[in-house]
Structure 1
């Protein structure tokens, strides 16, 4: 097995630590805009939103279960509203955006974010949907779901954006190796 992905990640992290945050953000934005196609951008946004949604939902559900932060289950009358229901609504919205179609970058990214969040909400409750009983907090429901959801989100985001990561690495290397600006005595 190749060490290339690990070495790439180590070099990128090293370069990120040395560059100012504003410059990194500007480089990342430029590479996002210039390197990726509209399909790659929307897929990257979808995967990142998916991973963020899963992490947020996990945090909220643990807080609800432990009765922390004053959070409670969403209940309408006697019915507990599971988070796959808003997920289905978001997936339907993403489908409508996709069917309508648009050439605008904002619409592509909005559709990707809506789809990613909807997928995150639905797939987080897969054990409930598959077993037709609430196994969310059992060992069988918890560890497998957390592992798979994390892997899908992170691996998908990485491979969707390979051109972006490569271009960002080149730009960061150029920033790092650029000669320091010499000041004249008048500027001092």
Structure 2
């Protein structure tokens, strides 16, 4: 199976799973009731998609390098196209969509688009940062010692996403000893 198809299918599975979980399960209701909308909910969705994609891509690359399964590199014209290229393209598309204000309203369609874009952002960021060492060294050092910088970049970025999603309320609750007040967004969250 062509690497491009595997990567495309993988990305679609991650985003589809996120969307199904957020819209059709009790988890979506819990997220809706306990994580305030924009920007925290968008950061939460991006964080989960980012971490799932990172783990999945690392496993996929491991399978390719050890000839496990039908997977292969993405090749075009005899040239290996690294997955950071697809990540950059996804990030450009999401950035353009956000600049065009897609998903910024409160209709069900806008909420769906907002979550879809957040999921895609997480996927694109993971594909890009997983090969951070390639940017830094300008050569493929994925499994070499220098490749550790990719792991460091992923950890730092995941921490930033997590801090954006959960940091402020936790800091205020634990460090500033302010009373934790829960805002009920909808009557059905009680």
Query: What is residue 83 of structure 2 aligned with on the other side?
Result: 83
Contact 2:134 2:142 in 1 (8 A): yes
**Secondary structure of 2:60 counterpart:** helix
What CA distance in whole angstroms lies between the structure 1 residues aligned with 2:66 and 2:159?
Answer: 27
Native 8 Å contact 2:50 2:123 kept in 1: yes
Correspondence for 2:162:
157
Q: 1:113 aligns with which of 112, 119, 127?
A: 119
1:135 aligned to 2:141? yes
Cα gap change, 1:161 to 1:106, in 2 (>3 Å): farther
- Tell me: higher relative CO, structure 1 or 2? Use CA pairs within 8 A at least 6 residues apart: 1
Output the aligned Cα RMSD.
2.4
TM-superposed CA distance for 1:56, in Å, is 0.7
Q: Report the equivalent of 1:123.
A: 129
Cα deviation digits, residues 92-142 of structure 1 (max 9, x gap)? 11112211212121121111111111110011111111111111121221x
Kept in 1, the 8 Å contact 2:47–2:122? The answer is yes
CA contact (8 A) 1:49 1:116 kept: yes
Aligned length: 140
Answer yes or no: is 1:42 the counterpart of 2:75: no
* Structure 1 unaligned residues grouped into runs of 5+: 1-24, 168-188
Structure-2 separation of matches of 1:135 and 1:123: 13
CA contact (8 A) 1:48 1:157 kept: no
Larger of the two Rg values belongs to structure: 1
User: 1:138/1:147 Cα in 2 relative to 1: closer, same or farther (>3 Å)?
Assistant: same
1:32 equivalent in structure 2: 31
Name which of structure 1's ranges 91-100 and 57-66 shifts more when overlaid on structure 2. 91-100
Cα distance in 2 between the residues matched to 1:127 and 1:86: 16
- Structure 2 residue runs of 5 or longer lacking an equivalent are 1-24, 174-179, 181-190
1:42/1:112 contact within 8 Å kept: yes
* Native 8 Å contact 2:133 2:149 kept in 1: no
